[in-house]
Amino acid sequence: MTGPAFTPRVFSGIQPSGGLTLGNYLGALKRFVEMQNDASHECVFCLVDLHAITVWQDPKALAQQTREAAAGFMAAGIDPAQSILFNQSQVAAHAELAWLFNCVARMGWMGRMTQWKDKSGKNTENASLGLFAYPALMAADILAYHATHVPVGEDQKQHLELTRDIATKFNHDFGVDFFPITEPVIDGPATRVMSLRDGTKKMSKSDPSDMSRINLSDDADTIAQKFRKARTDPEPLPETYGDLKDRPEARNLIDIYAALTGKSTDTVMSDVAGQGWGQFKPHLAEVAAETMAPITDEMNRLLGDPGEIDRILGEGSAKAREISEPIVARTRDIMGMISSG
């Protein structure tokens, strides 16, 4: 069966559940900007506040974090005149399509998600129902726009496979070719930036230790201190990237450096081979601070006018509704629901 040709459209989202990290920047934001600037895709970027509340969020902090994330997107280069930038809860199509998908997706699929297992931990009885259904809402985010490409970090791969499963099952159950089978876009040296304290854990905004991550809001001194204290092994840097196979902390710092400079990991290795950490870490910190400082400054400037951020998110939401409402209306129609409009 050859499906309809879907217009190339990028969708991606970030949870405003804390400040943005270098992992979000290198694994997601930086690549969103590249996709926006490669004019072949229409881009839709979303601050997924409905996902954030699957675990407890203080209401005042959530609003502030959402504005901070919006400012971070714009400071990193997302242009709201070129891309659609909005917060999820302003577009009811997401919650509505998520409900329809809750009735397509299977409990077993959700139970196998590693994020569900990690976040619910040993106390699944007390986890929110929303946390369990999280991936159906994520599928709704993507499919409400008939998005064809979704740039994400490595940790979202399983959720994107589930999005494809939901689209496939819907199309099959209702005998239609209505939802696209979305392509995950997971590439570059920084699809999984690791914690600076533990090379086996990903860098995360929810890690209790602030020293484990670089925040988009950190100043140059803080960045330098965090890289100086980053956990490493005692060996100097080897000749080839392959030699870092069993050295996760060292490999992570090389990956970060490669992603920041846009150099291949092979080129980086030939530049730094033989260096000790005392030489490499300050250099890495300098490169990171140079890249991040203009973004942090611009983010803080934008945050000085929260009304303007809210206005931009409102405008983005209106554009997002224009695309998603007809798609969700058609979904209802396919499922046999009567509409009077």
Least separation in angstroms between CB 332 and ligand TYM = 21
**Looking at 152, 216, 244, 328, which residue binds ligand TYM (CB under 6 A)?**
152
**Looking at 76, 98, 100, 150, which residue binds ligand TYM (CB under 6 A)?**
150
**Looking at 85, 100, 203, 256, which residue binds ligand TYM (CB under 6 A)?**
203
CA distance 242 to 260: 20
* Known catalytic residue at 205: yes
The residue among 77 and 238 lying less far from ligand TYM, judged by its C-beta, is 77
Q: Does 180 bind ligand TYM (CB under 6 A)?
A: no
The residue among 181 and 236 lying less far from ligand TYM, judged by its C-beta, is 181
Size of the site for ligand TYM (CB under 6 A): 26
Least separation in angstroms between CB 171 and ligand TYM = 19
Beta carbons within 8 Å of 111's beta carbon, 6+ residues apart: 132
Of the candidates 119, 157, 169, 263, the residue annotated as catalytic is 119
- Full DSSP string of 51-97: HHTTS---HHHHHHHHHHHHHHHHHHT--TTTSEEEEGGG-THHHHH
Query: Interface mask (CB under 6 A) for ligand TYM, residues 54-93, using x and -?
Result: ----------------------------------------
Where does this chain touch ligand TYM (CB under 6 A) — which range of 138-146, 253-261, 278-286, 291-299?
138-146
Least separation in angstroms between CB 291 and ligand TYM = 16
* Known catalytic residue at 202: yes
CA distances to 62, 107, 113 from 124, rounded to whole Å, are 24, 14, 13
* Residues pairing with 12 in the sheet: 45
Beta carbons within 8 Å of 337's beta carbon, 6+ residues apart: none
Handedness of CA 150, 151, 153, 157 (dihedral sign): positive
* Known catalytic residue at 117: no
Q: Which residue in 185, 192, 141 sits closest to 163, CA to CA? A: 141
Residue 32: its H or E element = helix 30-37
* Residues pairing with 223 in the sheet: none
Q: Does 18 bind ligand TYM (CB under 6 A)?
A: no
The residue among 138 and 328 lying less far from ligand TYM, judged by its C-beta, is 138
Instruction: Say if residues 324 and 96 touch (Cβ distance below 8 Å).
Output: no
Instruction: Say if residues 152 and 12 touch (Cβ distance below 8 Å).
Output: yes
Of the candidates 30, 202, 226, 281, the residue annotated as catalytic is 202
**Looking at 9, 10, 15, 75, which residue binds ligand TYM (CB under 6 A)?**
15
CA distance 255 to 261: 10
Where does this chain touch ligand TYM (CB under 6 A) — which range of 56-64, 96-104, 191-199, 232-240?
191-199
CA distance 265 to 271: 10
**Looking at 47, 105, 166, 193, which residue binds ligand TYM (CB under 6 A)?**
193
For the segment 266-285, give every residue that binds ligand TYM (CB under 6 A).
none
Q: Which residue in 3, 2, 1, 30 sits closest to 14, CA to CA? A: 30
Q: Does 189 bind ligand TYM (CB under 6 A)?
A: no
The residues assigned a catalytic role are 119, 202, 205
Residues at the interface with ligand TYM (CB under 6 A): 11-15, 23-24, 27-28, 48, 51, 138, 141-142, 150, 152-153, 155-156, 159, 190-193, 202-203
